Structure 1
């Protein structure tokens, strides 16, 4: 169906004739039929397409429909039409011209990176997400020292595979069984990077863009006034280790790229654990939690005070290993630890930090400007599998402690102004982190397999449950953001799935306001309509046919040229749809225990969720604990209602 052509709410039972016959079949990440069609017509990864302006406006108005009253909608429709036929047409034409000149990248790559780097908000809580590893299946390997060594060795093995061009490409499989074929993996790993795509193509396996991996190692975000920069030095061979706010470095690679012996790495970590027993008096890691302009100014003071070499060693390190000095108490404590910690033992500007607590809980906190979850999740999956199947060190065999000269403890010259800045940053960070509430949620009545048996989309069902819960809480449909990867295209980043629709609004009203008027069969049909439309939106987004990135790029173009801001973008409705109360993202992986991120707005929720075969769960963040508790109750109630409907039971 061309759903966008008839999205005005209509009375129950009224039917509309679809204008097109698009089957809304899709996979949550990349839609099978359309991706195969797309990839079969090009022997390379295509550039992200620029949607037609008329289509983007149509999709935009469809997303606005459930959020606005009739008069507001008419006003927004008028502004959208004027934009489409006026300045928007010119901006769209100019964007296409620029895209043709910049054939080496996508039209949104530069503006999207600039959006991240230009933000002056602190990156912790606002941008940096986290993902936690599952525990090692062998509990004795969850000792902090053992697990830190094994995960570090596996991470460096991943680095060497990447740099040796023998890392298998990220692949979307038309036939997922190919991913389990050792023969195919062996064949693909032997192909040079320049032709690996062709080998995969003939097996109907389509590599995804992997350009983000270039910033995974030896990289940092550097604060600058007005706009930050990304820094990389791939020639650096040292690892950065943080312990109680102290910084240590040691070369983990030799000059030709060979990794140190695992027990030598373990010996270095023993030295560090024995040295850093007390928290640093002025932990510089707090500075990375500051407003970016404030941090940029203090960084200049650090450099001027004679700390250039130490700062460079932090920025250029392969990655940051954070050895925390406490145990994890529960899932909420784990989330707090990985999302923000206590501030003093983090350097949030690093491309990623590997965090390991005393009890062996482990996770990744990563800076978001350089890349998205696809690259980090691949890294986590590889590292977890290698560290558990092929551990580099074993428990009860401790390396001999080497001379501490092999480990350098970074020293800093701090004047009174820098000390004061650290103190202020700590106070601000502590105040903000105490506002953050993180709570896990599990629902055990059904999972992916059951929903598929109902011939519906598991992702759509969870998203619908969030919509019904939000409607209960706010008494209306609220702006919602669901992230969708566009890694099927060159330099693809993400597109937004607008999960709040006229279908979810109608369904929420039926479950909340008129629940006794509907039979179980009628409610099921409403749920099915939501599922079909959600899959259609997923398909559009994965194929670069959403509206958010397109409209963003047009606005960015106008701003970069110094043009007056079009009235379309000044519309309160445009501001509101981008004030996302619900920010959602899924992280399904056999290696991941949980993940999460902060809310996008002060009164919103950050929802990281997983859909397993027989149950589903999520990890939700909020700055208002009372609101979060209510949302969790409403979410559980919504899923229970769905289960009753699936079982054919009418609601009471």
Structure 2
């Protein structure tokens, strides 16, 4: 089957009934509220959902939108509002990374060049297969998944806007079909270079040619760019500020617009780093928020390669979710560079063309670049991170104990959080919904009454092992049930969030001029104010997955569940770092204790 053959036949994302969403909202938020707050939420829901209330009017408009033949999903407008509408910086706050598994580079005189050339060859091969729609559509348990996100892997760049960003990409009205670009942009010490990776006749360059081109880049970029000239720093700014700076940059000199075009149309970026990471944590930090002068955080895909050949990827999130990037990375690392080059028909063509990508800057723009660099360096320093490699057991052992590995991990997080902080806090988990047309993710809220009983029972000295086990399994079963609700499109948060957006966009015309009180209640605000923000990436081809925390008190948990181990990357603002370190210690204990409890049966 061709890559995109299933897209028009996939089921549409189900639009829940308003009364079902309201009931689930109360059910999902109730464990986090006291009696007074719950009563207030219940009253607000009654106001919202009454026949002449705002809810039915807003929902009716959404029903009309969903019924439009031009609409792929009732979430079509939601995703741009959520991702492209955010006005803070996306670097560290929204972009995510994967640290690739180690590659056998011993014996190579130039491990960085060899690894980078191999990754480029693999990515170009993947693009060739995608262009011809030869990437097999992915299926889970026999059910096909949407491949629409794959259209944003190459030559895709987020463009800052004063109110909402846009996306420049192929497969669009302006640029129909695959990207025709033949170049990538390589960053070296804050200098940027255009490098062709596909020859004039459409054949990819050979591995030796790519390596020669990278050597030329390293030679040309041997002198580190002055901080106030490395324009990549600007991509770390808050979006409206970056939009204004980009406009001034493009207007200052015709060459600047051409340089922006070169970067934005490039197939992807490759960032060569001088340093050799001391460990996985150092590598993760660099992948998440490394030298911003050596990045273009608006680029959909940036492959980052360190001096010793350690490598990973930084991803702009607006059109790409982790599951899509996982399948891309699995393909890149699933065969040798030589195999990828042979599959793509790569041929020796000489050293690829290398051109510097430069910008003319005035004093004001240089000051902006310098300020952005200093601000982001401080922002990165103010983010605390830790890796938690747990190699005592993994997915295989949890399955042997007859439990969902994800539920096991999530219950461990809840127990560790209760022990570290003394309470159960709002927890987000991303649930993939790509079985639907243009499906992306659903927001799952992990805390349930069963979770609360579990964490309370587990540390009750009067509770027997049987009681602890029963509470643990009940909470895990509820977790699996709720995850299935999300996968079935029966979750409340995004539905209510979209109705809130409709009120902002068209409330006056729909007879809902004021924001409904529901969105000001502790029920809505508390349910979405995360203490833990979690997402998983199951693949043996990555060592770690990571992202930044989502609030001033949140711990971000990116977890890789592998057959024999769990690898977690935690992040949080530095002022609350001690609590994250305590949480990590309690989590190690919780994983062991939960496994031992189940093994006693």
Normalization by structure 1: what TM-score?
0.84
Alignment of 1:151-550 (within 5 A): 151-172=119-140, 174=141, 205-233=142-170, 234-255=179-200, 257-281=202-226, 282-306=229-253, 307-387=256-336, 390=339, 392=341, 402=351, 406-512=353-459, 514=460, 516-550=461-495
1:7 aligned partner: none
> What secondary structure, in the 3-state scheme, does the structure 2 residue paired with 1:593 have?
strand
Unaligned runs of 5+ in 1: 1-41, 175-204, 394-398
Show CA shifts across 1:54-113 (max 9, x none).
Answer: 221222112112101111111111212221222112222221111001454111122212
Secondary structure of the equivalent of 2:292?
A: coil
Match of residue 51 from structure 1: 16
| Alpha-carbon distance, 1:504 to partner | 0.9
Structure 2 CA distance for partners of 1:388 and 1:509, relative to 1, 3 Å: farther
CA–CA separation in structure 1 for the residues paired with 2:79 and 2:273: 33
CA offsets 1:543-590 (integer angstroms, 9 cap, x no match): 211111111111111111143111111113211211111100111112
Are the aligned partners of 1:242 and 1:346 in contact in 2 as well (CA < 8 Å)? yes
**Which of 510, 515, 529 lines up with 1:565 in the alignment?**
515
Partner SS state of residue 460, structure 1: helix
Distance verdict in 2 for CA 1:509–1:389, change over 3 Å? farther
1:108-162 Cα shifts (integer Å, max 9, x gaps): 1222122211111000111000012111245446811111011101101100100
Distance 1:358 1:43, change over 3 A: closer
- CA offsets, 1:406-428, max 9 Å, x none? 21011211100110001110111
Structure 1 counterpart of 2:83: 116
| Deviation digits for residues 457-503 of structure 1 (CA, Å, limit 9, x no counterpart) | 11111101111111222322111110011100001111012111111
CA positional deviation for 1:625: 2.2
Instruction: Summarize deviations over 1:520-565 as a string: whole Å, max 9, x none.
Output: 1110000110111111111111121111111111111111114311
Tell whether the 8 Å contact from 2:160 to 2:166 is kept in structure 1 after alignment: yes
Contact 2:533 2:555 in 1 (8 A): yes
Q: Distance in 2 between matches of 1:522 and 1:103?
A: 54
In structure 2, distance between residues paired with 1:644 and 1:250: 54
Q: Is the 8 A contact 1:136 1:388 kept in 2?
A: no
Q: Pick closer, same or farther for the CA change 1:535–1:157 going to 2, 3 Å.
A: same
Residue 273 of structure 1: CA displacement?
A: 1.0
Query: What secondary structure, in the 3-state scheme, does the structure 2 residue paired with 1:109 have?
Result: coil
When residues 389 and 276 of structure 1 are mapped into structure 2, their CA distance, relative to the original with a 3 A threshold, is: closer
Distance 2:564 2:338 in 1: 25
Choose the corresponding residue for 1:586, options 536, 540, 549: 536
Counterparts of 1:345 and 1:225, CA distance in 2? 25
**Distance in structure 1 (CA, Å) of the matches to 2:236 and 2:324:** 24
Deviation at 1:601, TM superposition (A): 0.6
SS of 2:535's partner is strand
Aligned equivalents of 1:295 and 1:416: distance in 2? 16
CA contact (8 A) 1:109 1:492 kept: no
8 Å Cα contact 2:401-2:599 kept in structure 1: no
Find the aligned partners of 2:449 and 2:215 in 1 and give their Cα distance. 58
SS in 1 for 2:9: coil
Unmatched runs of 5 consecutive residues or more in structure 2: 1-6, 171-178, 343-347, 508-512
- Cα 1:43–1:305 change in 2 (3 A) is closer
Match status 1:600 vs 2:545: no
Residue in 2 that maps onto 1:68: 33
Secondary structure, counterpart of 1:490 in structure 2:
coil
| Aligned match for 2:112, one of 141, 144, 153 | 144
Q: Tell whether the 8 Å contact from 2:543 to 2:567 is kept in structure 1 after alignment.
A: no
* Aligned-partner Cα distance in 2 for 1:235–1:401: 21
Residue-by-residue CA offset, 1:4-48 (whole Å, 9 max, x unaligned): xxxxxxxxxxxxxxxxxxxxxxxxxxxxxxxxxxxxxx9920110
Q: Work out which of the residue numbers 560, 574, 581 in structure 2 matches 1:610.
A: 560
CA distance in 2, matches of 1:331, 1:499: 29
| Mapped partners of 1:163, 1:250: distance in 2 | 20
SS at match of 1:471: helix
In structure 1, the residue matched to 2:176 is none
Kept in 2: contact 1:451–1:457 (CA 8 A): yes
State the alpha-carbon separation in 2 of the partners of residues 392 and 140 from structure 1. 21
